[in-house]
Chains A and B, each alone.
Chain A
Amino acid sequence: MARRATPEVNAGSMADIAFLLLIFFLVTTTIEKDKGIARQLPPKEPPTDEQVKIKEKNLFIVNVNRSDQLLVEEKLMELKDLRQAAIAFLDNGGASSGTAEYCNYCKGKRNPESSDNPDKAVISVQNDRLTSYKMYIAVQNELVAAYNFLRDRESERLYGWKFTEKTKDLDEGKIKGEAAKEALQEKLETIQKLFPQKLSEAEPKKSGQ
């Protein structure tokens, strides 16, 4: 007697099963896209009597009040003008040529009334406790944008690429090889030194103070 062929398993419902699973995963998927502004908080240190002196001209004071209005260097300002104002302040390079503090890569107005060089320039943000978080982030975003703009400019001048783009590539793991990574890291640090991010945050005032 001839052997009977084994009957084939009916695979018609395979698609249905796969669809069911697919729909489950479709529904439960949340493609994470968490991005944000990273910050390093100052460590808690015992209070010292030592006063750090910062000259008035090297300080860029941004004040945000409880109704989300901006006071920059004692003048009312719109949020859209903040970035340019910060760039002008950081890039000023007011120290006269010949002194140790002279900034040879600054392209600003060299106004002696404004910051000496980017290393000395400090941006201080002061919030009210009732400032909205939205405004707070918007201000931080604009200030980081000012630094990024200047860093991009310098890295293009020195190396021919944009600082922000290369930082992103490094983050996403697009740079292959340890040696290449280290070389890039070093270059990025050089740029960071040209425009160090000096953002200070004062303790927020209570409303009405």
Chain B
Amino acid sequence: MSKFKKKKSNELPAVNTASLPDIVFMLLFFFMVVTVLRDDNLLVQNKLPKADQVEKLKKDRSVYIYAGKPSSRYQDKYGSEAKIQIGDKYTDITSIKFALTEARQKLRPELQEYVMVALKVDEKTNTGMVTDIKQELRDLNMLKIIYITTPGNEINQ
């Protein structure tokens, strides 16, 4: 009987943490792979409308246009009228062509022909502004557009 008792120590055995670095590294590599560092600093409010009949965006060949009211911290400076943002700055509707050509040149050369314009427009914006942007795009002959939406449906909410 005493033979068994001897083996039992009074202290709890420490949890073996030798494999902890491995687990953490695994997680680390996962996040490193999926991370896309955000290159655009959002200057406008951007609550996207909902839709469910959607297609996926091919990221490597797209140019982003944001539109909406300026974010709350910029409202003092730029007012609350809806604005267009391309890249990192506000763009006027008249200089949109220049900004878009510039943005297109940043894409890989073989994909520049297949450029797709992703419109990220706040749901409270007027359609008139989107129409103006579309007219400019037609002038530039960038005819493929995609309205970026969030999953969901306007009806069942």
Task: Flag whether B108 is at the interface (Cβ < 8 A).
Answer: no
CB pair B144–A36 under 8 Å, yes or no, is no
Task: Flag whether A4 is at the interface (Cβ < 8 A).
Answer: no
Min CB gap B156→A, angstroms: 9
Task: Flag whether B75 is at the interface (Cβ < 8 A).
Answer: no
Q: Could you say which of A35, A130, A167, A203 has the most chain B C-beta atoms within 10 Å of its C-beta?
A: A35
CB pair A29–B126 under 8 Å, yes or no, is no
CA distance A42 to B135 in the complex (A): 10
Q: With A35-B55, A80-B155, A203-B131 in contact, is A43–B138 under 8 Å at CB?
A: yes
Interface residues of A, count at CB 8 A: 49
Task: Flag whether A145 is at the interface (Cβ < 8 A).
Answer: yes
CA distance A170 to B80 in the complex (A): 42
CB pair B123–A41 under 8 Å, yes or no, is no
Min CB gap A69→B, angstroms: 14
Task: Flag whether B32 is at the interface (Cβ < 8 A).
Answer: yes
Q: With A38-B146, A79-B154, A204-B131 in contact, is A133–B122 under 8 Å at CB?
A: yes
CA distance A167 to B31 in the complex (A): 29
Task: Flag whether B97 is at the interface (Cβ < 8 A).
Answer: no
Task: Flag whether A21 is at the interface (Cβ < 8 A).
Answer: yes
* In the complex, residue of chain A having the shortest beta-carbon distance to the beta carbon of B64: A34
Those of B45-91 within 8 Å (CB) of chain A: 49-57, 59
> Contact check: which of B25, B38, B123, B138 meets A137 at CB < 8 Å?
B123
CB pair B143–A43 under 8 Å, yes or no, is yes
CA distance A28 to B38 in the complex (A): 8
Task: Flag whether B121 is at the interface (Cβ < 8 A).
Answer: yes
CA distance A15 to B121 in the complex (A): 43
Chain B contact patch, size range:
35 or more
Number of A-B contacts (CB under 8 A): 158
CB pair A127–B54 under 8 Å, yes or no, is no
CB pair B131–A133 under 8 Å, yes or no, is no
CB pair B38–A30 under 8 Å, yes or no, is yes
Min CB gap A148→B, angstroms: 6
CA distance A148 to B55 in the complex (A): 12
* In the complex, residue of chain A having the shortest beta-carbon distance to the beta carbon of B36: A32
CA distance A36 to B150 in the complex (A): 8
Min CB gap A194→B, angstroms: 18
Some 23 contacts from A to B, beta carbons below 8 A apart, are A18-B28, A21-B28, A34-B56, A35-B55, A35-B57, A35-B151, A37-B51, A37-B147, A37-B149, A39-B145, A43-B138, A43-B143, A79-B155, A127-B127, A129-B128, A129-B131, A130-B128, A132-B127, A133-B122, A140-B51, A141-B53, A141-B154, A171-B55
Q: Residues of A at under 8 Å CB distance from B?
A: 11, 14-15, 18-19, 21-22, 25-26, 28-32, 34-44, 79-80, 127-138, 140-141, 144-145, 148, 167, 171-172, 203-204
Known: A35-B54, A129-B126. 20 other contacts (CB 8 A): A22-B31, A29-B34, A30-B36, A36-B149, A37-B55, A37-B147, A43-B141, A44-B138, A79-B155, A127-B131, A128-B127, A129-B127, A131-B127, A132-B127, A133-B49, A133-B130, A134-B49, A141-B52, A203-B131, A204-B128
